[in-house]
Structure 1
């Protein structure tokens, strides 16, 4: 059995199909871990959701910020916004099945075979492995629970920016979700900053990538993540963290990592969006 982690698909069903052909993916024997943002910006969000959902227990998706945005829009009963391309999900005859499945996806996943941790964006430097898994379950229970609509009403925002165990209520949940789905940089005190999206070297001097945070308590844990298409590289940071969002929707590549061997496989993507124009 081979387990592959796959970067942000973002509604690009055809590149996903081509990548799996290149991997010779066998759904009877292999497993896939998707690193979030299955939907939005690409042309076939509904088709991607149907495919991944149809794999059953052979696939896991960790929730990304675009996945949560879709769920929030659906909960409000809104149409897709000008920059969104998931109206096909909102109009789908199997809409409720697709959204219900997506809402039950975890925020973090621990692969039982390799011990690799999978998240969409990253983790707070103060969290241990056991703490981040517990917090992921805590927030996921609210996302899939009866008060999910109220959660989405409080989800957007950048406050608070520093983890404290005493955080409560919506502020606590917002911080947890922001770390798992939006973080890129943090400062020396561990305050997260979600405003800067460029590659390392373009950010203010007081910020560093979350995976290079001094004293990060998961520094010895292997973590795979997506979210950061401008990271500018695919590779291990200190041997323990690897970003796999290689900008498929922007005309880059869709990339898979073999968790058993460390081998990377990718396929070129035509690009549904234009960097600097559609961002």
Structure 2
């Protein structure tokens, strides 16, 4: 059995099929992990959701910010300027797909590997990260999920505190797991910069490079950061698997057993605005 971890798809279904052919993927024996952002920006979000849901226990996907945005849209939220979610929202199996997506985790663990979409604040150890993920997952899977999704957006609070309560606490957890790239040494999140390390303002650093990060002993797999510039950061024990598929980059898979990367080139489905990828 091989475990393959695949970076952000964002509706890029055809490259996924080519990647699986390169991997000689066998659904009877192998397992697929997806780093979130299954949908949006690319042209085939509906096909991606149907395919991965159809894999059943063969596939695991964590939630990304675009996945949560789809759930918020379905709950009555406003569309983004560059959304490509109409086919999902109009599909006859819309409710089945949305219910399936709503039950995906924020954090997945297996034999020392952690899979999440964006990052962990430096204050959280693994036990704290697990507890935080489970809190949001319980709300998303519960009857009050629509109200939470309507209050999910926003950059504050920027700093974790065990005393955070209610939607402010849940919003911080969502922002960490699905939007984080940079923070300062004390763990204040700055969710605005999207460029490669070295382009950020003074005092900011990649979340995984904060000295003394409490999760530094875990091997972490994540997506979300298409401008990161490299996949493996061995000194920090992290793998950033978003290699810009929707922007004309590559779709990347990591085999956990061999640590071998496999990539396929992708069409440029979307052109970044202002030179920034999201």
TM range (shorter): over 0.9
Q: Distance in 1 between matches of 2:74 and 2:237?
A: 36
Q: Report if the CA contact (8 A) 1:184-1:194 is conserved.
A: yes
User: Which runs of structure 1 show a deviation greater than 4 angstroms over 4 or more consecutive aligned residues?
Assistant: none
Given candidates 173, 185, 189, the residue that maps to 1:188 is 185
Q: Distance in 2 between matches of 1:77 and 1:181?
A: 18
- Counterparts of 1:218-257 in structure 2 under 5 Å? 218-238=215-235, 240-257=237-254
Residues 239 and 169 of structure 1, relative CA distance in 2, 3 Å threshold: closer
2:172 is aligned with 1:179: no
- SS of the equivalent of 1:265 reads strand
- Counterparts of 1:40-55 in structure 2 under 5 Å? 40-55=40-55
Residue number in structure 1 paired with 2:82? 83
Given candidates 136, 142, 161, the residue that maps to 2:158 is 161
Q: Report if the CA contact (8 A) 2:118-2:177 is conserved.
A: yes
Structure 2: give runs of 5+ residues left out of the alignment.
Answer: none
- SS of the equivalent of 1:149 reads helix
Computed over aligned residues only, the root mean square deviation of the Cα atoms, in angstroms, reads: 1.2
Q: Distance in 2 between matches of 1:226 and 1:237?
A: 16
Residue number in structure 2 paired with 1:29? 29
Residue number in structure 1 paired with 2:104? 105
How far residue 271 of structure 1 moved from its aligned partner, in angstroms, is 1.6
Structure 1: give runs of 5+ residues left out of the alignment.
Answer: none
Q: Distance in 1 between matches of 2:148 and 2:252?
A: 32
Q: How many residues align?
A: 276
Given candidates 145, 148, 151, the residue that maps to 2:145 is 148
How far residue 125 of structure 1 moved from its aligned partner, in angstroms, is 0.6
Q: Distance in 1 between matches of 2:57 and 2:193?
A: 36
Q: Distance in 1 between matches of 2:265 and 2:251?
A: 7
